[in-house]
Structure 1
Amino acid sequence: MTPTTRADLARHLLDLHTAPDILILPNVWDVVSAQVVAATPGVQALATASHSIASTFGYPDGENIPLELHLDMVRRIVGAVSLPVSMDFEAGYGNAGDTARRAIEVGVVGGNLEDQMKPLGEAVAAVEAVMAAGREAGLDFVLNARTDAVVRAKPDQRRSEVIAEVILRGRAFLEAGAPVVFVPGLLVREEIQEVSDALGARKLTLISVPGASLPARELQALGVARLSTGPFTQRVALTALQDAAVGLLQGGTLPATTRALN
């Protein structure tokens, strides 16, 4: 049955995280990218990339784009597709619960929230605030609770300590109600397996890094629930654009494989 209400979309998105097949989300950043990805066979949900949306408007990543502008683009994306949409609202713009409420108002049914390695109690409270916003709206809100324990690890920090911190924070976020935990920077098979085993099957989500990440099918076998792409899909598009421009400037033509996707 095709989900129709916002509550149905939220439940569908949640169910996709526990399905046998890994959920693959090539991140989008504007209406046309959302429409192209949504029309791709096999795509069942969409996720926005905050970095990419900020770049679209000329802002650096890190909550530099005004929230109103960010939400307006997400609203346009939601209105252009019929699939569940998850929004990356970074660290919550100073008030995770309120930002989640505003995101829900524009139609999203899931979201990413960074802990930025804030004190654990503060990070857990932010997770709880987002989940409360979802309940208030009558949604099984799919919070992808992110810990930056790997990407912010000190160069001289023992790897075992880093992974222990990932597991500590991940378990705390799950206990606070988040259905899944996002760990960017986790690339090594053995570490992925250790974290996946510690959190439980289909509780871990990762980002695909060009030239560094394991293939999706292998991550699925390790118990990973979801694989997203962050800013990398926009970079794929921009790389193709620049390569096409180079070809023209060198006296060539546009690629013959170009398709009319808009």
Structure 2
Amino acid sequence: MNFKNLHKQNTPLIICNVWDAASAKTAEKLNFKAIGTSSAAIANMLGYVDGEQMNFAELVYIVKRILASTSLPLTVDIEAGFSRNPTEIAAHIKTLADLGVVGINIEDSIVTNGRTLLNAADFAKDLSVIKQLLKENEVNIFINVRTDPFLLGRNNALMETKERIKRYESVGIDGIFVPCITNESDISVVVNHTTLPINVMCMPDLPDFNALKKLNVKRISMGNFVFDSLSDRFEDALGSIVESQSFKPVF
């Protein structure tokens, strides 16, 4: 089943978010159907903060290692495209597609002095240009657009999300990602507002997978939360070694 069709099943597609070859291999071992990079996890692994602090070439290197280590379909988080120029963003996407990447996430916010939403109309125009350039270059890749009113805690997050979805849907993208949405009523409104598959993300208050299935959510991702949890356990393990002055806590 191709990647786009994985978003048309009755059961939501669970994306295992990975950050290196080892995590990708584990996802394949556990029979996940698809994997996606977490930009925040990769940035953290490389010593950066999230928000396009690493350069695109560094991301490409990690993507190459992941692709060489697994046969699972891979979608890549390109943040806001590693450029504000749609021609350059399209070139980045083509680079990934040529490597064998089947999908990308691109978000409608950028990090400068804090994270801010891009103008929705301007971002939709950029998406339209990107789509046209990809078509001209015969690049067929799943474009999942992340919209961030809920992530940023906007007072009118639901209304703003609906408005942005309609703008992005009109330029022919393939899916919508709404991180930090957790209320079942809000999720239902968003799902029923568009014909595009809706992607939600791991959050402490996110409904369980069965509830999300009933709401007709089509994709569920993990973000950087699994990576962060493992990092915390690593710190705890090292602390135990120091405290006990032995390696017994490891075993």
For the criterion TM > 0.5, the same-fold answer is yes
Consecutive aligned runs of 4 or more in structure 1 exceeding 6 Å deviation: none
Relative to its length, the structure with more strand (as a share) is 2
Partner of 1:66: 55
Q: Among 82, 85, 90, which residue is 2:74 paired with?
A: 85
How far is 1:102 from its partner?
1.9
Flag structure 1 segments of 5+ consecutive residues without an equivalent.
4-11, 257-262
CA contact (8 A) 1:203 1:225 kept: yes
1:41-84: CA deviation from partner (whole Å, max 9, x where unpaired): 2x011100111111111111100001111111111111211111
| Matched residue SS, 1:206 | strand
One-letter code aligned to 1:203: P
Structure 1 residue 206 corresponds to structure 2 residue 195: no
CA contact (8 A) 1:196 1:203 kept: yes
Structure 1 residue 114 corresponds to structure 2 residue 107: yes
1:80-229 mapped onto 2 (5 Å cutoff): 80-94=69-83, 95=85, 96-116=89-109, 117-136=117-136, 138-154=138-154, 157=155, 161-200=156-195, 203-209=197-203, 211-229=204-222
Between the aligned partners of 2:153 and 2:232, the Cα distance in structure 1 is 30
Between the aligned partners of 1:207 and 1:186, the Cα distance in structure 2 is 8
How far is 1:127 from its partner?
2.4
TM-score (norm 1): 0.84
Structure 1 residue 13 corresponds to structure 2 residue 6: no
CA contact (8 A) 1:204 1:225 kept: yes
| Matched residue SS, 2:23 | helix
One-letter code aligned to 2:66: I
| Matched residue SS, 2:143 | strand
Percent identical: 25
One-letter code aligned to 1:26: C
One-letter code aligned to 2:241: L
Cα 1:152/1:23, change in 2 over 3 Å: same
Cα 1:21/1:138, change in 2 over 3 Å: farther
Cα 1:107/1:181, change in 2 over 3 Å: same
Count residues in correspondence.
Answer: 238
Cα 1:190/1:13, change in 2 over 3 Å: same
How far is 1:134 from its partner?
4.4
Between the aligned partners of 2:151 and 2:107, the Cα distance in structure 1 is 11
**Aligned-CA RMSD value:** 1.9
Between the aligned partners of 2:163 and 2:177, the Cα distance in structure 1 is 13
Q: Among 23, 34, 39, which residue is 2:24 paired with?
A: 34
One-letter code aligned to 1:82: S
TM-score (norm 2): 0.87
